[in-house]
């Protein structure tokens, strides 16, 4: 099984890049399954039904999110009616939508889990306890986690905590791709951050002039996404159909 995971898709330009390039890349590389983080796919931030639908129509099988998952109230009903768009599992039980998704993809089935870290982010339920709960009763060996977290140490701890228990752990949130894609000793594929689908010369997808102004002045600034020279940061992992272990993992930039 060849799985592709795409970093945080930023705004309209990010969605358009995925629409233009993902279908042909999937065919060329023989990708079986695509997961993209869509929590910034709406202009501004957050995710809206139309941005989620565009990514799904472009060939994504599952959309994960993070700390902006519930920022736009328009997404609440969509999360309830579209189980392949998930929010962090460790949100309050009353939050709309679900935090994990099962898909039958003959000849294998896949479980995708979304978690949010707590270091430098909102004080929600402990993600380590939450993932133990999520894994109870999961019968497929093909388990993939998007861990949406700020701290590299927390992401590394999660990777080691789940090594040998899941197929793949990929970090999101920082919008900066890390160079540590590898297979951990127990056979779990790991990368600290996928990166983003946004402007190559931006600051985390935002026009650099606006980000610089905010950094230099500390004054309120209305951010706008950079639509130019958009790149898709992603990883591709090959996962054994029987054991669920990752046998190969590498980074791609499209």
Rg of the chain over all Cα atoms, to the nearest angstrom? 17
12: CB partners within 8 A, 6+ apart: 43, 51, 225, 227
68 is catalytic: yes
Distance, in Å, from the CA atom of 96 to the CA atom of 93, rounded to the nearest integer, reads: 8
Give the three-class secondary structure for 154.
Answer: helix
Q: Phi and psi (nearest 5°) for 35?
A: -120, 130
**Cα–Cα distances in angstroms (integers) from residue 95 to residues 66, 88, 89, 91, 148, in the given order:** 13, 10, 10, 7, 17
CA angle 189, 20, 210 (to 5 degrees): 85
Q: Considering 68, 142, 173, 175, which one is annotated as catalytic? A: 68
Pull the structure tokens for residue 218. Answer: 């500390």
First to last CA, the chain: 21
Distance, in Å, from the CA atom of 253 to the CA atom of 110, rounded to the nearest integer, reads: 24
DSSP state letter for 91: S
- 64 exposure class (CB count in 10 Å sphere: 0-12, 13-18, 19+): buried
| Contact by Cβ (8 Å): 4, 190 | no
Q: Which residues are identified as catalytic?
A: 68
């Amino acid at each position: 099984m060849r799985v592709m995971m795409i970093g945080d898709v930023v705004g309209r330009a990010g969605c358009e890049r995925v629409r233009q390039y993902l279908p042909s890349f999937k065919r060329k590389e023989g990708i079986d399954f695509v997961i993209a983080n869509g929590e910034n796919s709406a202009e501004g931030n957050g995710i809206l039904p139309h941005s989620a639908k565009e990514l799904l129509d472009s060939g994504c099988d599952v959309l994960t999110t993070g700390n902006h998952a519930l920022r736009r109230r328009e997404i609440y009903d969509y999360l309830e009616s579209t189980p392949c768009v998930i929010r962090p599992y460790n949100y309050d039980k009353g939050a709309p939508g679900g935090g994990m998704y099962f898909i039958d993809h003959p000849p294998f089935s896949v479980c995708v889990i979304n978690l949010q870290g707590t270091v430098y982010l909102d004080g929600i339920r402990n993600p380590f306890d939450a993932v133990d709960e999520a894994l109870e009763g999961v019968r497929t060996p093909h388990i993939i986690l998007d861990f949406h977290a700020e701290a590299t140490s927390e992401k590394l701890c999660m990777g080691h905590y789940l090594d040998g228990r899941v197929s793949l752990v990929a970090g999101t949130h920082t919008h900066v791709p890390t160079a540590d894609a590898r297979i951990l000793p127990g056979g779990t594929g790991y990368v600290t951050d996928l990166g983003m689908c946004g402007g190559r010369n931006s600051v985390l997808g935002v026009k650099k002039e606006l980000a610089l102004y905010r950094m230099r002045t500390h004054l309120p600034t209305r951010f706008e996404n950079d639509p130019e020279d958009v790149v898709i940061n992603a990883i591709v992992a090959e996962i054994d159909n029987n054991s669920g272990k990752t046998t190969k993992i590498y980074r791609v930039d499209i």
